[in-house]
Chains A and B, each alone.
Chain A
Amino acid sequence: KAGVTQTPRYLIKTRGQQVTLSCSPISGHRSVSWYQQTPGQGLQFLFEYFSETQRNKGNFPGRFSGRQFSNSRSEMNVSTLELGDSALYLCASSTGSGNTIYFGEGSWLTVV
């Protein structure tokens, strides 16, 4: 059974640009969540999607957005990148009704 797949794994962007990250959940999972990991702030919740609907959102500015497609794949977008957006972005997959939550390997974003 394939795990959670995130692409791209590494990317470098310039301040002011935008970026789109992709996540394919485990087959049959309908919930996808996104987290940002930085050395200073640790792991912080961005948002969660279930069956194409955003169910919950963390405390991030509107530059951070996401969506989920009918096949449960999800994308997150960050517009007008700032240096502080440099982080590991992790996607999590679950059935949406509790217990097991699996993470992907993450996308490392560096903003220069």
Chain B
Amino acid sequence: GEDVEQSLFLSVREGDSSVINCTYTDSSSTYLYWYKQEPGAGLQLLTYIFSNMDMKQDQRLTVLLNKKDKHLSLRIADTQTGDSAIYFCAESIENTGKLIFGQGTTLQVKP
């Protein structure tokens, strides 16, 4: 079936690295995404990775994909207080135009 799992909460100190993990079940995923949601706002696309890649770096963000274990992670380097938000992992299901989301990980950044 289609299922995406994330841990619910992560707390880090400003300046540290944050790593948010996600597991998914559908083998037919084409793309995997990370979105950020701030209070009262919509979803902001942070980055995405094609399912045949194993790593993607974009400034402070690094995405690692282990397709064998169906494990995805998002590393935020030099985490800032402005990074405090809920982070959602999502997989796109091939030929459906549909995203399956995890429950979201609340990232708390302490000064």
Cα of A45 to Cα of B99 in the assembled complex, Å: 7
- B87 adjacent to chain A (CB < 8 Å): no
Interface flags for B91-111 (1: CB within 8 Å of A; 0: not) read 010001111111110000000
Q: A55 is contacted by which of B44, B50, B97 (Cβ under 8 Å)? A: B97
Question: In the complex the two chains form, is B98's CB within 8 Å of A100's CB?
Answer: no
Query: In angstroms, how far is the closest chain A Cβ from the Cβ of B37?
Result: 9
- A43 adjacent to chain B (CB < 8 Å): yes
Question: In the complex the two chains form, is A101's CB within 8 Å of B42's CB?
Answer: no
- A22 adjacent to chain B (CB < 8 Å): no
**B97 — which chain A residues lie within 8 A by C-beta?**
31, 33, 48, 50, 55-56, 94, 96
- B33 adjacent to chain A (CB < 8 Å): yes
Interface flags for B19-51 (1: CB within 8 Å of A; 0: not) read 000000000001101010000011111001010
Q: For chain A, residues 29 to 45, give those with C-beta under 8 angstroms from any C-beta of chain B.
A: 31, 33, 35, 42-43, 45
Query: In angstroms, how far is the closest chain A Cβ from the Cβ of B47?
Result: 10
Interface of B: prevailing SS: strand
Q: For chain B, residues 67 to 103, give those with C-beta under 8 angstroms from any C-beta of chain A.
A: 88, 90, 92, 96-103
A6 nearest in chain B by CB position? B42
Question: In the complex the two chains form, is A48's CB within 8 Å of B98's CB?
Answer: yes
**A99 — which chain B residues lie within 8 A by C-beta?**
31, 48, 50
Question: In the complex the two chains form, is B45's CB within 8 Å of A103's CB?
Answer: yes
**B101 — which chain A residues lie within 8 A by C-beta?**
35, 42-43
Query: In angstroms, how far is the closest chain A Cβ from the Cβ of B53?
Result: 12
- A58 adjacent to chain B (CB < 8 Å): yes
Cα of A18 to Cα of B22 in the assembled complex, Å: 37
- A102 adjacent to chain B (CB < 8 Å): yes
Interface flags for A53-68 (1: CB within 8 Å of B; 0: not) read 0011010000000000
Question: In the complex the two chains form, is B45's CB within 8 Å of A100's CB?
Answer: yes
Known A42-B104, A100-B45, A101-B33; 15 more pairs at CB < 8 Å? A4-B42, A6-B42, A33-B97, A33-B99, A43-B90, A48-B97, A56-B97, A92-B99, A101-B45, A101-B48, A101-B92, A103-B42, A103-B43, A104-B42, A105-B41
